[in-house]
Amino acid sequence: MNITGYYLTKGITACSDGTYIIGDDIKEHMALLCKYPYPDINAFWHMDYAAALILRLLKVNKEQAQALYKSTDLTLSRYALKYRSSKLFSIRNGTQFRAPLSVFCDMSQFNECTFKLNETVDECMTRAKEAQKLAQQTYDAASKLNIEPNTLISPISIFEKKYLGKFDAKGNPKPLGVDIPTVLDYPEEFREDLAHAAYECVHGGWVESFVKGHYPNSADYDISSAYSFYESELLDTRQGTFMRSKEYDPQATYGLALCDLRMTSNFHPILYNTDVQNHYTPFGKYPKPTWRHKQELDIIKEFQLGEVLKIHDGFWWRCKRPYKPPNI
């Protein structure tokens, strides 16, 4: 697979194969960008930055740019463009359907990008080669998983197309397909209610200030890959039984409960979502019943953060065989 990196700045288009264009000649810049059509893989060092410069180079007006952003497609007199922010940019060298198509992916998703004014050709070439190197590393990592992608739009989409789901587009079983539980595996008698409860238990990220005023020094901490790690630890819910009850089930592995809460701690992680999608961590009784994970109820009790006043509805899952679907 031929993989090529590109970097654009004002007046310069650099390609990782060592070629570059300087100046305002539209045809020369576009010829270099269209040098390696599909199925070759092309990578921008930063897609949105490159896309803006290409539109400027092609003298695309505001109305045309807005049309491209909204519909993802724009046909000009000589070129046809497709753009999905931070995901995909393509140039069809000609307006006919069979005209050569060059597809670009975004390497800024793997690398922190900074910009500077008046970059030299050597600096642009270095970044084009960095884009090529990142794309090659991504492709090689996929190859080790027995995947040969024809695009690097998203590592997750690469894996999803190859493995997730039991069948391919023609209905044939995938040889290495991942069989994971879905909402269709919930008990039919309360499937819709259970799916709704699971959705309502998602309260979003938590960013909150506990002291008003100016902070001369502050720190923002994050846990690397927290979501994906805990997703990989989830058990297969088909290997157990669900039940619906207003009584807390201490034997359940997983649970969802619609309950009234009263929090007595000034500092706690039990979020409350308002009707306008804002969330905070209240002190005292929550304004209305909310859906909570069983783990949250256990944390409230273990760390004496408050109390569960009443459970109005609940779904509880007891594990029969602890099995984790293959990790992604």
Q: What is the mean pLDDT of residues 248-260?
A: 96
Q: Which residue has the higher pLDDT, 36 or 156?
A: 36
**pLDDT for the residue numbered 328:** 46
Percentages helix, strand, coil for the chain (3-state, rounded to 5) are 30, 25, 45
Q: Are residues 140 and 252 in the same domain?
A: no
Band the pLDDT of 279: cuts 50, 70, 90. confident
Final residue of a domain: which of 123, 144, 165? 144
Kindly list the distances between the CA atom of residue 4 and the CA atoms of 7, 28, 34, in Å, as whole numbers in the listed order.
10, 17, 11
Q: What is the mean pLDDT of residues 12-22?
A: 96
Residue 109 lies in a domain: yes
Kindly list the distances between the CA atom of residue 233 and the CA atoms of 201, 230, 323, 324, 327, in Å, as whole numbers in the listed order.
18, 5, 10, 7, 8
Q: Are residues 195 and 257 in the same domain?
A: yes
Is the pLDDT at 182 greater than 90, yes or no? no
Final residue of a domain: which of 144, 169, 191? 144
Residue-range definition of the domain harbouring residue 259:
183-205+236-319
Give per-residue pLDDT as tens, 29-74. Answer: 999 999 999 999 999 999 999 999 999 999 999 999 998 988 889 9
What's the one-letter identity of residue 80? A
Q: What is the mean pLDDT of residues 136-145?
A: 88
Band the pLDDT of 276: cuts 50, 70, 90. low
Is the pLDDT at 230 greater than 90, yes or no? no
Q: What is the mean pLDDT of residues 99-118?
A: 86
> 76: Cβ–Cβ under 8 A, 6 or more apart, which residues?
58, 60, 64, 95
Q: Name the domain count of the chain.
A: 2
Give per-residue pLDDT as tens, 282-322. Answer: 899 999 999 999 999 999 999 999 999 999 999 999 999 99
When the pLDDT of each residue in the chain is averaged and rounded to a whole number, the result is 87
Residue 103 lies in a domain: yes
Q: Are residues 139 and 190 in the same domain?
A: no
**pLDDT for the residue numbered 72:** 86
Q: Which residue has the higher pLDDT, 38 or 225?
A: 38
Band the pLDDT of 13: cuts 50, 70, 90. very high
Residue 259 lies in a domain: yes
Give per-residue pLDDT as tens, 57-67. Answer: 999 999 999 98
Residue 223 lies in a domain: no
Band the pLDDT of 169: cuts 50, 70, 90. low
Predicted model pTM: 0.56
Is the pLDDT at 151 greater than 50, yes or no? yes
Q: Are residues 107 and 188 in the same domain?
A: no
Q: What is the mean pLDDT of residues 131-155?
A: 85
Q: What is the end-to-end Cα distance of the chain in Å, rounded?
A: 25
